[in-house]
């Protein structure tokens, strides 16, 4: 992804960090999300961007199984933007 696109995404996001998984398919977006969440402080919000429709099922299920909060999703063109809040107390 080019730097200009990264900056545009950062400006339009309420998240603390953004994870771009466009072009990656199940289960890689969830694996990358789990890896990134380990580095975030409790309560931080991660926005995951994906073009894999399956993430709309996988991310809420992953959040339920890990105790993180799924905050919702929206579609922008062919991409899905999902917000996840890391559970408190797990830096």
Look at the alpha carbons of 7, 9, 14, 16 in this order and tell me if their dihedral is positive or negative: negative
Domain boundaries, the chain: 3-85
Report the distance separating Cα 15 and Cα 33, nearest Å.
14
Task: For residue 15, give the DSSP letter.
Answer: S
pTM of the model: 0.83
Report the distance separating Cα 91 and Cα 58, nearest Å.
23
Residue 45 has a pLDDT of 97
Active site (annotated) includes residue 26 = yes
Residue 84 has a pLDDT of 98
Query: Is residue 21 within 8 Å of residue 32, measured between CB atoms?
Result: yes
Active-site residue, from 18, 26, 45, 69: 26
pLDDT in tens, 31-81: 999 999 999 999 999 999 999 999 999 999 999 999 999 999 999 999 999
Q: Which fold has domain 3-85?
A: Translation Initiation Factor IF3 (3.30.110)
Q: CA–CA distance from 78 to each of 10, 41, 50, 74, 75 (Å)?
A: 18, 30, 9, 11, 7
- Spatial CA neighbour of 69 closest among 88, 85, 89, 49: 85
């Amino acid at each position: 992804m080019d730097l200009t696109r990264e900056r545009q995404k950062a400006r339009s996001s309420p998240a603390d960090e953004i994870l771009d998984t466009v072009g990656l398919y199940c289960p890689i977006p969830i694996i990358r999300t789990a890896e990134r969440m380990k580095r975030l402080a409790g309560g931080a919000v991660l926005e995951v961007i994906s073009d894999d429709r399956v993430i709309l099922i996988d991310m809420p299920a992953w959040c339920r199984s890990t105790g993180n909060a799924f905050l919702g999703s929206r579609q922008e063109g062919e991409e899905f933007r999902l917000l996840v809040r890391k559970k408190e107390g797990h830096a």
